[in-house]
Every structure is written in structure tokens, then in C-alpha cells.
Amino acid sequence: PKPAPSKDEL
């Protein structure tokens, strides 16, 4: 799996 774009979370 790819890393989740953590910056889209608060």
C-alpha cells in the first residue's frame, strides 16, 4: 500500500 497523505487529516 501507498502511504496516506497525512496532511489531508487534521
Partner 1 sequence: MNIFRLAGDMTHLISVLVLLLKIYATKSCSGISLKTQELYAIVFVTRYLDLFTDFISLYNTVMKLVFIGSSLAIVWCMRYHRVVRRSYDRELDTFRYWILLGVSFILALVLHEKFTLQEVFWAFSIYLEAVAILPQLVLLQRSGNVDNLAGQYVFFLGAYRAFYILNWIYRYLTEQRFTRWISCVSGLVQTALYADFFYYYFISWKNNAKLQLPA
Contacting residues toward partner 1, per CB under 8 A: 1-10
Min separation Cβ 5 and partner 1, Å: 8
Find cell 487534521 and name the residue.
Answer: 10
Min separation Cβ 1 and partner 1, Å: 4
Find cell 502511504 and name the residue.
Answer: 3
Min separation Cβ 9 and partner 1, Å: 7
DSSP 4: P
Residue type, 9: E
